[in-house]
Amino acid sequence: LKTIARKKDLKGKKILITAGSTQEKIDPVRYITNHSTGKMGYALAKIAMQRGAKVTLVSGKTSLSDVNFVDKIDVTSAKDMFEEVKKLEPSQDIIIKAAAVADFRPKNPKDEKIKKKNSSNVIELEKTDDILQYLGQNKKANQFLCGFSMETENMIENSKAKLERKNADLIVANNLKTKGAGFGTDTNVVTFITKDATKELEIMSKEEVANEILNEILSKIDK
Ligand code: CTP
Ligand code: CA
């Protein structure tokens, strides 16, 4: 019933959402990843769809089921995600980067399983591309860019720096150490950071957070 009841205030808007974690190959058996479950990104995709948007979801690894009426593209690594996002971004009105993208990947992933005998205990890493930063540098006219920021300390200060560095219009910040926030939970505690304001929200479900994020974005682009 909620679905029908939602105001279709995003009708006509094309929204690209990234969600979940990326996996960076070490060898055919192992990879580097993080604790992201994709819940926040999938909630955003669902609510944006219910509010009438045309949603494309670029999803890293999650165990969540598909969201009805949302185009989903599955990716594995940060590089795969970057390639898909680059293809899709020019036509989007709103881009929301909820994915937890790996910052580093193994420099020389192996085709054969690494054996403990005769192998070093060091994996050399290289930086991945910062997708949000790329989007900020290539932002189209009237395109709205929303990033996330996960911190364990100095959340506001670090997130403000990300807003600027990545040329984003909104950063949704959360502190991993706050109860009810972060990975795997059904709730989140977030702070909206824009150029001219910092707004702290109460604890609420990820779907409610998604609604609030979309309200915030609409209030900024409808001006
Ligand atoms: N992000 C991205 N590509 C990367 C790394 C991060 O697009 N290679 C995006 C994330 O999707 C998120 C935002 O950048 O929207 C912030 O991610 P976060 O990990 O909090 O910040 P980083 O800039 O990676 O800095 P750090 O991890 O050092 O805090
Ligand atoms: Ca990071």
| Model pLDDT for residues 167-212, shown as the tens digit of each residue | 999 999 999 999 999 898 999 999 999 999 999 999 999 999 999 9
Ligand 1 closest atom vs CA 129: 8
The predicted model gives 27-54 an average pLDDT of 97
* Mean pLDDT of the region 32-37: 96
Question: For atom 9 of ligand 1, which residue has the closest CA?
Answer: 132
Specify the higher pLDDT residue, 223 or 221.
Answer: 221
Please state the domain count of the chain: 1
- Contact at 8 Å (CB) between 23 and 70? no
For ligand 1, atom 21, the nearest C-alpha belongs to 149
Residue 38 pLDDT more than 90? yes
Centroid of ligand 1 to alpha carbon of 119 (angstroms): 32
* Degrees, nearest 5: CA angle 173-176-180: 95
Q: Is 130 in the pocket of ligand 1 (CB under 6 A)?
A: yes
What pLDDT score was predicted for residue 121?
Answer: 87
Around Cβ 195, how many Cβ atoms within 10 Å? 11
**Residue 219 pLDDT greater than 70, yes or no:** yes
Binning pLDDT at 50, 70 and 90, where does residue 29 land?
very high
- Is the CB–ligand 1 distance for residue 172 below 6 Å? no
Q: Which of 40, 75, 97 to mutate to test the pocket of ligand 1 (most atoms within 8 A of CB)?
A: 97
User: Could you say which DSSP state residue 21 is in?
Assistant: B
CA distance 210 to 215: 9
Backbone φ and ψ for 212, nearest 5 degrees, come out as -65, -40
pLDDT at residue 119, rounded to an integer: 85
Percent of the chain exceeding pLDDT 70 equals 98
154: exposed, middle or buried (Cβ count in 10 Å: 0-12, 13-18, 19+):
exposed
pLDDT value, residue 76: 98
For residue 188, give its domain range.
2-114+122-221
Q: Per this entry, what is the length of the chain?
A: 223
Average pLDDT of every residue of the chain: 96
Question: Which domain CATH number covers 109?
Answer: 3.40.50.10300
Q: Is 101 in the pocket of ligand 1 (CB under 6 A)?
A: yes
Instruction: Write out the E strands in the chain.
Output: 14-19, 24-25, 31-32, 54-59, 71-74, 94-97, 104-106, 125-127, 144-151, 170-175, 187-188, 191-193, 198-200, 204-205
Nearest protein CA to atom 8 of ligand 1, as residue? 130
pLDDT of residue 3: 60
Query: Which DSSP letter does residue 190 get?
Result: -
Cα 148 to middle of ligand 2, angstroms: 10
Q: Is the pLDDT of residue 1 over 70?
A: no
Highest mean pLDDT among 16-30, 110-124, 177-191: 16-30
pLDDT of residue 5: 80
**Is 18 within 8 Å of 99 (Cβ atoms)?**
yes
Tokens 């479950």 belong to residue:
37
Q: How far apart are CA 38 and CA 99, in angstroms?
A: 7
Q: So what's the ipTM on this one?
A: 0.98
Question: Is pLDDT at 223 greater than 60 in this prediction?
Answer: no
Measured by CA distance, the residue closest to atom 4 of ligand 1 is 130
177 three-state secondary structure: coil
Q: Is 132 in the pocket of ligand 1 (CB under 6 A)?
A: yes
Q: What angle do CA 199, 205, 208 make, to 5 degrees?
A: 60
Residue 65, amino acid: S
Residue 34 appears among annotated catalytic residues: yes
Residue 150 pLDDT more than 90? yes
